[in-house]
Amino acid sequence: MSTIYYNASMFDGKSKEITRNTWFEVTDSKISQVGTGNPAKKADENIDLKGKYVTPGLINAHTHMMMNPVTNKLEYLSETEVTATAIQNLRDLLESGVTYIRDCGCAFNTDIKLRDFAKEHNLEAPGIVASGRPMSMTGGHGDFKEGANGEIDWSYLTDSPDEMRKSVRTALKIGADNIKVMATGGVMSAGDNIDDTALTPEEMKVAVEEAHHKGKKVAAHAQGNSGIQNALDAGVDSIEHGIYVDEKQADYMVKHNVYLVPTLNAAASISKYGRDKLPSYMIRKNDQVKADFFKNVSLAFKKGVKVIVGTDAGTPFNSFKTGTWEEMQLLVNEIGATPSQALLSATQYAADLLGISDNYGTLEPGKFADFLVLDQDPTQSVDAITQVDKLVFQHGKQIK
């Protein structure tokens, strides 16, 4: 079965420009041909897009599918709660136009299990790069209370290089695509501060060594400056959040192709919606860093660091339905990106970070037909991506 979509205005993810009067053929879930002008052939079905705008499906490189952004419950969760919440969140992401995600920490390794389940069953969800349970230190960011049945449900607690080696090997054995390490404290944890360092450089170096040996990447939750430096010294592939990234670190990241996934919408959502609903420590820490956060990410972006769209979806009031759009708007309105740069951060560059660029991130022959159809030009206004009734296609099939 082949379908030709013609009379499209295409942002293909390779260029920053729109190509008018484009056509592309989808055959058996993949793009088989792309051209301009009149299609070179007839297909089983031919669809006139009437000049509407086509982009690659969006990629959100930092989610927590297990979290409910309204209840904000993290402690004493059962595996049933986590799974039910994740399935709804995945559906919300897909309907919003997100066709691939990287999940950055999930209790019970539910992201790994749902990724595998989707391969054999009809689970309508974005593609998943799964991290499983993250690596934390005892008492650090990510060390939440025991699960409902008495088991530790959130992090591998690692307090030495040897413990890290065994934990990473265990995560890789059960199918983690990515290893998440906690290099600093965080806004959401009551017992530490953003400037606190957590896992040591030696511990994180072991994580990098084991992951890279298996062809996997390491993402570091790193907010304070010293913890960011520790993570960079350890050789991680991406800095998540990066609140106090400095000029020297940005230069290093450009030179060594280390990505920055700032999750700006996490801070924006707490500030906008959480003031009378969240613990005072969380509001205090968020208020202390938000202005510096946006300023430092802007500095890194302008120095050439590849800044990737990831939202920390699931953190307080950080929606799976709208958060990806809001992150792209923040990149444009607060960080200084153009709409085209924000689109690349959610498509081609994100696919590179996730290691899926052979099949996703751009619209070209041989890649899966994950794409959106929009009424307005997203290279002129990033707000075009917020269209609620946009058409979303995954592997050539429209999501209803």
Domain ranges of the chain: 2-56+361-398, 58-354
Q: Say whether 113 sits in a helix, a strand or coil.
A: helix
Which range has the top average pLDDT, 66-80, 213-227, 280-294?
A: 213-227
| All residues at 6 or more sequence positions from 212 whose CB lies less than 8 Å from its CB, including other chains | 218, 235
Percent of the chain with pLDDT over 90: 84
Residue 344 near residue 365, CB atoms below 8 Å: no
What are φ and ψ of residue 190, in 5° steps?
A: -75, -25
Alpha-carbon span 398 to 400, nearest angstrom: 6
CATH class of 58-354: alpha beta
The pLDDT value recorded for residue 277 is 87
Q: Tally Cβ neighbours within 10 Å of residue 340.
A: 18
**Strand, coil or helix: 286:** helix
Q: Give the Å distances, CA to CA, from 269 to 205, 244, 319, 339.
A: 33, 19, 9, 21
Rounded to whole angstroms, how far apart are CA atoms 262 and 294?
9
Q: Which residue has the tokens 């030495």?
A: 160
- Average pLDDT (272-291) is 89
- Residue 40: its pLDDT value, please? 77
Hey, what's the torsion of the CAs at 276, 282, 283, 289, to 10 degrees?
Answer: -160
Please determine, for residue 289, whether its predicted confidence score (pLDDT) is greater than 80: yes
pLDDT the model gives residue 308: 98
Cβ–Cβ contacts within 10 Å for residue 236, how many? 27
- Please report which helix (H) or strand (E) contains residue 34, including its range: strand 30-36
* Confidence (pLDDT) at 145: 65
Instruction: Report pLDDT digits (tens) over 132-184.
Output: 999 999 988 888 765 555 555 689 999 999 999 999 999 999 999 999 999 99
In a 3-state reduction of DSSP, which class is residue 299? helix
Would the pLDDT of 72 be above 80? yes
What is the rounded distance in angstroms from the CA atom of residue 358 to the CA atom of residue 169?
26
Look at residue 187 in the predicted model and tell me its pLDDT.
85
- DSSP assignment letter at 57: P
Class in CATH terms, 2-56+361-398: mainly beta
List, for residues 301-327, the tens digit of each pLDDT value: 999 999 999 999 999 999 999 999 999
CB atoms inside a 10 Å sphere around CB 128: 24
Percent of the chain with pLDDT over 70: 98
Q: Would you give the DSSP letter of residue 322? A: T
pLDDT, one tens digit per residue, over 32-54 is: 999 999 887 888 899 999 999 99
Q: Cβ atoms within 10 A of the Cβ of 257, count?
A: 11
Residues composing the chain = 400
Model-level pTM?
0.96
Contact by Cβ (8 Å): 176, 132: yes
Contact between residue 3 and residue 47 where contact means Cβ atoms under 8 Å apart: yes
pLDDT bracket for residue 196 (50, 70, 90): very high
Q: Rounded to whole angstroms, how far apart are CA atoms 376 and 362?
A: 19
Q: What is the DSSP letter of 383?
A: G
Q: What is the pLDDT of residue 150?
A: 52
As a whole number of angstroms, the distance between CA 282 and CA 268 comes to: 13
CB 69 within 8 A of CB 86: no
Which residues are registered as beta bridge partners of 98? 58
Mean pLDDT of 250-276: 95
Helix ranges (H only) for the chain are 79-96, 110-120, 161-173, 201-213, 225-234, 247-256, 264-273, 280-302, 323-330, 339-345, 348-354
306 within 8 A of 350, measured Cβ to Cβ:
no
The token pair that represents 273 in the structure block: 């919606």
Q: What is the Cα gyration radius of the chain?
A: 21
Q: Given this model, what pLDDT does residue 13 score?
A: 97
Higher pLDDT, 398 or 153: 398
- DSSP code string of 117-161: HHHHS-----EEEE--SPEE-TTSTT-PPP-TTSS--S-EE--SH
Q: Which of 33-37, 217-221, 281-285 has the lowest mean pLDDT?
A: 281-285
